[in-house]
Structure 1
Amino acid sequence: MNTVTIPLNLPSVPLLERHNLPRCQSIYFVLEDGQVLYIGRTVNLNQRWAVHHILPQLKMRKGEVRIAWLECSVAELLPEIETGLIEHFQPLLNVVKNPLRLKTADKDIISSVISKELKERLKKYANSKGWSMSQAAGVLIEEGLKRFEAEFEGKEAK
């Protein structure tokens, strides 16, 4: 859906200037030439966009990609607002709401059985970053593998 049908006078920055995003809890919109590509929520917009999982996809887009945001002072409302906006706009890159895209996405789904204690720790970490538990798990796996690979390469060089 195009944002022209709804007046959105929200603050925004170009994707390449995302380091200028404020550190606020908000609903954010990824826009390309006025088209809503993605909608998300976070408790810290600046931190969220330092390592967003859709950055590689967005950097390959041809049009002008911007990140707009709507501050929300009540964190408990973020999930409900996000869901309503995703249902309304049906953004192209919100693949969770479109199961058919999961088959064509450049990602695989894995599952793991974890203890309740580990789940609570993951949930606490995810909430502190404004991420879903899946996003937090993905980031932690990626960071852990990078450390492992760096350590492994160091041992091979000796």
Structure 2
Amino acid sequence: MNTFTPNQVNPLSLPSLPLEWRKALPDCAGIYFAIDSNDAVQYIGRSNNIRLRWVQHHKNQQLTKISAVRLAWLEVSDKSLLAPIEEALIKWFDPPLNRGIIVTPCYIKSSQRKAVQQSNTKIRCRLQDLLDAQELTRSALAQETGLTSPAIRGLCENTAKRYDADTLAVLCGFFGCEMGELFEVLPKDAEEV
């Protein structure tokens, strides 16, 4: 595949199955499309194994609320092309469930640091809770998202002191969640779960 043009892909002409039959999806690498009953593409993703990806997909709950969703797929034999093809297709189709949030980094001035240190609240990252709910491992998350293991570990174990905006955007996009679902504010003396 030398040149890829997303406008030549018609998801409606690709093989597809109803969302309820996702366990029958093929064991192949490729791009998948969640298409609603009005033939609108609601979500686009990629995986090294489409069937395994959809056994416990993070968008399943959102998609079950949409009428008659079917999953179409485009097999991609060269796994190194998955990310660029997915990116081009998302830009072309602009599916609503792929629209991520934009996180603007917030920098604390040195004069405000004392106030932060004296705060009676703390931030807890719920990444491990999200992984547990989806029955995903940290290594599977790293493989699916491209995030590093140390970054994932720091968030899961709540040892990270700073949060990278790009990392948070990737996680929110992957889990289909808002920032408030990824983090919670707790009293500083609250027990760790």
- Using structure 2 for the length normalisation, give the TM-score: 0.51
Identify if the C-alpha distance between structure 1 residues 82 and 125 changes in structure 2 by more than 3 Å, giving closer, same or farther: same
Partner of 2:76: 72
Identify if the C-alpha distance between structure 1 residues 94 and 56 changes in structure 2 by more than 3 Å, giving closer, same or farther: same
RMSD of equivalent CA atoms: 3.0
Partner of 1:41: 46
The structure carrying a bigger helix percent of its residues is 1
**Which segments of 5 or more consecutive residues in structure 2 lack a partner in the other structure?**
1-7, 104-123, 128-136, 148-170, 178-193
CA distance in structure 2 between the partners assigned to 1:70 and 1:6 by the alignment: 9
Partner of 1:60: 65
Which residue, out of 135, 140, 161, partners 1:125? Answer: 140
Partner of 1:143: none
Identify if the C-alpha distance between structure 1 residues 12 and 89 changes in structure 2 by more than 3 Å, giving closer, same or farther: same
**Which segments of 5 or more consecutive residues in structure 1 lack a partner in the other structure?**
101-108, 113-120, 139-158
CA distance in structure 1 between the partners assigned to 2:36 and 2:140 by the alignment: 31
Which residue, out of 96, 99, 110, partners 1:95? Answer: 99
Which residue, out of 9, 13, 18, partners 1:14? Answer: 18
Give the aligned length.
112
Structure 1 residue matching 2:43: 3-state secondary structure: strand
- Counting aligned pairs with the same residue, the percent is 37
1:46-101 alpha-carbon deviations (Å, 9 max, x no partner): 1000111011111111x2100000000000000000000000000010032x549x
